[in-house]
């Protein structure tokens, strides 16, 4: 069973600090990774996609991928109260023909004023 694992949290970060969210995956063949944000009572929203090793920046968000260590992380700089949400990591299977992405269970992030 291919897995994507996240710490469920809650992760509490002071406003203005950097929030660091981590995700590990078991399928060495996975080539791309996605981060979703889900506010309470709402549906998940895609916020970042990363397809190669290294960093990808988009505004206050940076996704980092390390294929050798099989982890992907999301950094949120200058955290705002509006960043309080659950963040889901997702990865498609590497080589399986049953091509559907696997979601982690999510990390709940709370930004305290």
Partner 1 sequence: DGGITQSPKYLFRKEGQNVTLSCEQNLNHDAMYWYRQDPGQGLRLIYYSQIVNDFQKGDIAEGYSVSREKKESFPLTVTSAQKNPTAFYLCASSGTGRQPQHFGDGTRLSIL
44: which residues sit within 8 A by CB, 6+ positions away? 36, 37, 38, 88
Determine the Cα–Cα distance for residues 53 and 33; give it in Å rounded to an integer: 11
66 scored as a contact of partner 1 (CB under 8 A): no
Rounded-to-5 percentages of helix, strand, coil across the chain: 5, 50, 45
Give the C-alpha separation, 49 to 90, whole Å.
9
Q: Is 106 one of the binding residues for partner 1 (CB under 8 A)?
A: yes
| Number of residues forming the site for partner 1 (CB under 8 A) | 20
User: Of residues 69, 82, 99, 113, which one binds partner 1 by CB under 8 A?
Assistant: 99
Give CA–CA dist 29/97, Å, rounded: 12
Closest distance between partner 1 and the C-beta of residue 44, in Å?
Answer: 5
If the CB atoms of residues 60 and 93 are measured against partner 1, the closer one turns out to be 93
**Binder of partner 1 out of 45, 55, 57, 58 (CB under 8 A):** 45
Among 42, 52, 58, 112, binds partner 1 (CB under 8 A): 42
Binding site for partner 1 (CB under 8 A): 32, 34, 42-46, 49, 88, 90, 92-93, 98-101, 103-106
């Amino acid at each position: 069973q291919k897995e994507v694992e996240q710490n469920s949290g809650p992760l509490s970060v002071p406003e203005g600090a950097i929030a660091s969210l981590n995700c590990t995956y078991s399928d060495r063949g996975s080539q791309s990774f996605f981060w979703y944000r889900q506010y309470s009572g709402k549906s998940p929203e895609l916020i970042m996609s990363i397809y190669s090793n290294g960093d990808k920046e988009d505004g206050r968000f940076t996704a980092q991928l390390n294929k050798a260590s099989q982890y992907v992380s999301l950094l949120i700089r200058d955290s705002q109260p509006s960043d309080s949400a659950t963040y889901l990591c997702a990865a498609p299977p590497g080589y399986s023909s049953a091509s559907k992405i696997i979601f982690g269970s999510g990390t709940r992030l709370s930004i305290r004023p």
